């Protein structure tokens, strides 16, 4: 399964490995899910994860991003129209997901990606994604 992973899910997964986002991160680390990315997404991960307020060790942040770079799939994203999303900071995630034909964009902020369903993209919460993953792999 190929997904785009919003930064908020990655942060939550690293904070609480036993929670739903943590289980998704575990599936990624086990090689059962491939993360699609481009440099904008990796740079956001590298910018956000080591922030002191998040209490994620900088070495852990660098290690997880290096793993995603090696195990994931780099996508050269096609741009969406400038007003396609309410928050321009989310464009990279949508563009990579659409261009890479991701099975889903997994986010804790589905409302940020309104309108992508019409473009054929599943935007799923971590809980809904995990439910679908379990169903498909049962």
Residue in 58, 109, 57, 104 with CA at minimum distance from that of residue 86: 109
How big, in percent rounded to 5, are the helix, strand and coil portions of the chain? 55, 10, 35
pLDDT digits (tens, 9 = 90+) for 1-23: 999 999 999 999 999 999 999 99
pLDDT digits (tens, 9 = 90+) for 37-67: 999 999 999 999 999 999 999 999 999 999 9
pLDDT digits (tens, 9 = 90+) for 113-125: 987 888 889 999 9
Q: Is the pLDDT of residue 88 over 90?
A: no
- CA–CA separation, 80 vs 71, rounded Å? 26
Instruction: Report if pTM > 0.75.
Output: yes
Q: Return the bridge partners of 2, or none.
A: 34
pLDDT of residue 82: 82
pLDDT of residue 98: 96
Q: Is the pLDDT of residue 86 over 90?
A: no
The helix (run of H) or strand (run of E) holding residue 71 is helix 58-71
Give the phi and the psi of residue 106 in degrees, each rounded to 5.
Answer: -100, 120
Chain length of the chain: 138
Domain of residue 91 covers 2-136
Q: Is the pLDDT of residue 33 over 90?
A: yes
pLDDT digits (tens, 9 = 90+) for 89-111: 899 999 999 999 999 999 999 98
Helices (H) and strands (E) in the chain, counts: 6, 5
Which residues, including other chains, have CB under 8 Å from residue 4's CB and lie 6 or more apart? 35, 36, 37, 41, 93, 96, 97, 100, 102, 104, 105, 106
Domain count along the chain: 1
CATH code, domain with 118:
3.40.50.1010
User: How far is C-alpha 52 from the geometric centre of its chain's CA atoms?
Assistant: 21
78, 98 contact by CB (below 8 A): yes
């Amino acid at each position: 399964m190929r997904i785009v992973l919003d930064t908020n899910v990655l942060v939550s997964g690293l904070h609480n490995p036993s929670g739903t986002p943590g289980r998704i991160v575990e599936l990624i680390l086990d090689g059962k899910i491939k993360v699609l990315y481009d440099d904008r997404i990796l740079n956001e991960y590298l910018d956000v994860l080591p922030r002191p307020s998040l209490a994620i060790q900088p070495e852990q942040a660098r290690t997880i991003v290096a793993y995603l770079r090696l195990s994931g799939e780099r996508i050269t994203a096609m741009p969406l129209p400038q007003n396609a999303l309410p928050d321009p900071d989310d464009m990279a995630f949508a563009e990579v997901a659409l261009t890479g034909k991701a099975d889903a964009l997994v986010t804790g902020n589905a409302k940020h990606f309104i309108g992508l369903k019409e473009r054929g993209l599943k935007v799923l919460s971590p809980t809904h994604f995990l439910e679908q993953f379990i169903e498909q792999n049962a």
